[in-house]
């Protein structure tokens, strides 16, 4: 059971056992939830029952009986936001329930300190991939991962590992960060579709200890301050 870094501060899982545990927790603790779709947000409601291929929710007010697909969002007892997408199979006004599909994937928003910041042009990641040294452009970074733009003609496979990652980051245009950041191991978690010669990838940092994340967090704070200065 595991979460994998997705993008924009979210983690994602498709593990069926983990999804069931999360749904059981949602039902047993009766967390308030909402259905969200384009131009619509339901009133708060709760999950009543979990069946093999169905979820049954208490009918919220307001509600859109014509809704076909929606995202369910809620916060758990630790105030972490979770969400999943469902198809709306049926609205029963007499039983006062909404019946939906079972989610195939689940998302949660990472801890607030892992916010993502864009990085200036000239920021690079140098790493070993299948024994070859590769230099890629870094587009943005957070405490748990980054987005990189691979060199033209270079293809990386999702779930493959990057070894001996060294980050050369810029704090602002023409101003380099005062230290190189080294990450022993990382993993490709997502290829972002784009109709261009250079491939864009989401990378998850595989850090053994929480303190190993501190140099990355120090950089994101410094970069955030630079962005605020530019806006003021």
- Domains present along the chain, CATH in parentheses: 4-110 (2.30.110.10), 113-231 (2.40.10.220)
Percentage of residues of the chain with pLDDT beyond 90 = 63
Rounded to the nearest integer, the mean pLDDT of the chain is 89
What pLDDT shows up at residue 134?
97
Q: For residues 63 and 35, what is the distance between their CA atoms, to the nearest angstrom? A: 9
b/e map of 82-97 (b: 16 or more CB within 10 Å)? bbbbbebeebeeeeeb
Task: Name the nearest CA neighbour of 59 among 45, 70, 71, 72.
Answer: 45
Report if pTM > 0.75: no
Burial status of residue 211 (CB atoms within 10 A of its CB: 0-12, 13-18, 19 or more): exposed
User: CA–CA separation, 101 vs 121, rounded Å?
Assistant: 44
Q: Tokens for 144, please give them.
A: 């748990």
Report residues of the chain scoring pLDDT below 70.
1-2, 5, 7-9, 110-114, 195, 231-232
Alpha carbon distance 219, 181 (integer Å): 9
End-to-end CA separation in angstroms for the chain: 44
Specify the residue for token string 């989610």. 103
Which residue in 152, 113, 147 sits closest to 5, CA to CA? 147
Q: What are 162-178's pLDDT values in tens digits?
A: 999 999 999 988 888 88
Dihedral, 219, 221, 223, 224 alpha carbons, nearest 10 = 160
What is the per-residue pLDDT across 25-59, written as a single tens digit (0 to 9) for each? 999 999 999 999 999 999 999 999 999 899 999 99
């Amino acid at each position: 059971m595991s979460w994998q870094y997705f993008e924009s501060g979210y983690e994602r899982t498709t593990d069926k056992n983990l999804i069931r545990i999360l749904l059981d927790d949602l039902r047993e603790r009766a967390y308030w939830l909402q259905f969200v779709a384009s131009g619509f947000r339901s009133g708060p409601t709760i999950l009543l029952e979990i069946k093999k291929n169905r979820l049954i929710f208490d009918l919220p007010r307001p509600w859109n009986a014509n809704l076909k697909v929606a995202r369910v969002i809620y916060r758990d007892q630790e105030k972490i936001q979770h969400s999943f997408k469902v198809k709306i199979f049926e609205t029963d006004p007499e039983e006062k329930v909404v019946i939906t599909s079972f989610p195939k994937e689940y998302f949660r928003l990472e801890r607030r300190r892992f916010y993502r910041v864009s990085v200036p042009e000239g920021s690079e990641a140098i790493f070993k991939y299948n024994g070859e040294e590769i230099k890629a452009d870094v587009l943005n970074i957070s405490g748990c991962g980054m987005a990189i733009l691979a060199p033209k003609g270079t293809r990386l496979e999702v779930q493959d590992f990057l070894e001996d990652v060294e980050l050369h980051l810029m704090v602002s245009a023409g101003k380099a960060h005062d230290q190189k950041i080294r990450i022993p191991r990382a993993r490709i978690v997502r290829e972002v579709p784009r109709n261009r010669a250079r491939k864009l990838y989401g990378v998850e940092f595989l850090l053994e200890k929480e303190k190993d994340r501190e140099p990355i967090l120090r950089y994101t704070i410094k970069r955030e301050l630079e962005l605020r200065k530019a806006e003021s």
